[in-house]
Each structure stands twice: as structure tokens, then as C-alpha cells.
A and B are shown apart, each in its own frame.
Chain A
Amino acid sequence: MTETQRLIMESSCRQLLGLYLTCVDAKNLGAMLEAFAPDVEWVRPGMPPMLGHADIRTFFETLWTKQSKVTPLGDLTRHLLTTVSLQPRTEDRASGISYAMVFRARAFDGKLPAPLSEPELIVEYRDEFSRCGGDWRIRRHEARHIFRSALWQPSLSEQEVAGLNLGTAPPA
């Protein structure tokens, strides 16, 4: 990989993380999925892996619908991406480890600013990136909880996760 290619890779992968996190906070699922390869594997604590865009869509639509039954806007979240370490593997593959702090206001009533307390989570993301057709995408995404506040609650119950039927949707 030349130096120019490495700079392009680093910038592209940082941008993918930025796109993913700003879109998940804006609950913009369509734009968020553009950061991920169609055959992405997404690993989250406490549930089976999500495979492909259909599983991701099912998970987030279920989650946001559940939150919106408490208040129309659901939870207010901001995922603060801090340390990012990216490594090229080949000309078309790279891997990354990054840290994020997650702040959440549950049952957000729309009034800003929301109360700021400690982060709910400090997470570590482990990503595999691949380039296809000139564009970099996240091909595998794993979120690990490193620090967890007493404020944290699971997004979905075990029963709700089982009801997602992940891995059964036809490929896109």
C-alpha cells in the first residue's frame, strides 16, 4: 500500500465510523447502512450476530419502535468516537480498533439540553474494512462493552432478541 493509498484508507475508514455513529444517533437507518458492506457481520453483546443489512434494519427498527412507545422521540444518544487506530492489511482490507463513549437520555422529551451525567458505556469497536469498487465499507463490526455505568440497561430483552429471527432474512 502506498502512502497515498494508506491516507485514503485511514480517512475513508474514519469517515465510515463517523457516518455510522452520527446516523445511529440521528436514527437515520438508510444513511447508516451505507457505511456497511451488504454482507456485513455485526456482533453486539448479549445477542446473536446480525448478518447483512436486513438483520441490522430489523434490530434498529424494533429497538426504535420500542423506545417510541415510551416517548415519540425515543432515547437521545450521542456516540463520541475518540481514539481510532487503523491498520492496513492489504490494498483492499484494513482493520481498526476504536473507542467511544455513549451518552444517553432515556425517554427524551425534546427539550434541549438534556441532563448530562456520566457516560452510559465506554465501548471498544473492532472493525474489519474492505474496499469494493473503489469504496471502503465496514465488513465486520464488533462492539465490546469495556466500562458500563449503573445507568445502562439492555436495549432489548432476551425474548425480544429471540423474536428478531436474525439470520433468516433472504440476502439483499
Chain B
Amino acid sequence: MRNAQHRVALESACRGLLQQYLRAIDTHSWESLHQVFTADAVFARNGAAPLRGVAEITGFFTRLEDGRHARGERHRTQHHLTTVWVNVDDTTRIVATSYVLVMRQVLEEDTSDPVFRMRPPELLLQYEDEVRLEGTQWRLCRHEARHLFRAAGAVAPR
């Protein structure tokens, strides 16, 4: 059993990594994912082979965004991190379960309007993450997103 201060630090580190990951997704800051994932991280995906290593993960998101640009789409998202529970008592692995609500707006015309048009959430995701120390920094070494609820008309990312 870890002491109380260590448990607080772990919980804070996990929560911080998740928040950093979601901000990277929402701001399309793919290079900042190097501060979120270990070099050999595994990113499990719904119905597709897992991505292995932070280079593959950033490559996936870069290609996703390039494809959307090529189709004239601009996606704005806001990933809301809600329930988080970090199993700080397991001394062999540090795993976290969290729920994320995804708001998405697809812009087909160029606009500088910073305000999202209100619509219902698109997705409710459950993340299962494992963290590990890489040097002196905590990083996600395994990430899995399960699509639990999806709004009618929403499609998987492409």
C-alpha cells in the first residue's frame, strides 16, 4: 500500500495526463503527445490494430487531420473529462478508468467564429489507461478508448 502523499501524487499525475491528452486532441497539438505517452506506448482502438509507440500515435492523428482537410472538413471538438478513478493501491500497475463526453462540430466553411453551435454530445467514451514512470515523468503507456454511447448520425473518426 502506498502512503497517502504518494497516492495523491499518482492521482494528480494521472488526471493531469488525461487532461493534457484531451487538450492535445482538441487543439490538434499532435507533437505535445510526446509529453503524454511513453515512447513505446500502446494505443488500442475500436475495431482496428493498436498503434505502437508515440511516433505511430502522432502519425495517426496527423493523417486523420490531413484527411479531413483534404475533404474540406474542419472538426472542432471538446472532450469533457468527467469521472476518473485511479487504482493507486495496486503496487504492480497504475491504471485509471475515466469517462469522457465528446462534443463535435464539423465546419465545412472557413470561419473564425470561436463559438461552438450547441448540439447534443456525439460520444460517451470510457478510457482505460495505464501509466508508468519514464525517467522522472509519468506517462501513459497504454490507452484504450471504448465507445459506450454514440449519438444517431455520428460516425467513427476517419
Instruction: Tell which of B80, B120, B147 touches A112, judged by Cβ atoms closer than 8 Å.
Output: B147
Q: Is the interface of B mostly helix, strand, loop or mixed?
A: strand
What separation, in Å, do the CA atoms of A18 and B83 have in the docked complex?
Answer: 6
Q: Would you call B149 and A103 a contact (CB within 8 A)?
A: yes
- Among B2-10, B32-40, B58-66, B110-118, the one that faces the other chain is B2-10
Q: Would you call A113 and B148 a contact (CB within 8 A)?
A: yes
Count contacts on A: residues with CB < 8 A to the other chain: 30
Count contacts on B: residues with CB < 8 A to the other chain: 30
Min CB–CB distance B89 → chain A (angstroms):
10
Q: Would you call A116 and B121 a contact (CB within 8 A)?
A: yes
Given contacts A18-B85, A22-B97, A78-B126, contact A113 B149 (CB under 8 A): yes
Top 10 nearest A-B pairs (CB, nearest first) are A18-B85, A80-B82, A116-B149, A113-B150, A113-B147, A11-B8, A81-B83, A116-B151, A22-B85, A8-B4
Q: Which residues of B contact A (CB under 8 A)?
A: 4-5, 7-8, 11-12, 80, 82-86, 88, 97, 99, 101, 120-124, 126, 146-152, 154
Query: What are 28 residue pairs bridging A and B, where the CB atoms are less than 8 Å apart in the complex?
Result: A8-B4, A8-B7, A8-B8, A11-B11, A14-B11, A15-B7, A15-B88, A18-B86, A21-B83, A22-B97, A76-B148, A76-B149, A78-B149, A80-B83, A81-B82, A101-B101, A103-B124, A113-B147, A113-B148, A114-B150, A115-B150, A116-B120, A116-B123, A116-B124, A116-B149, A117-B120, A118-B120, A134-B4
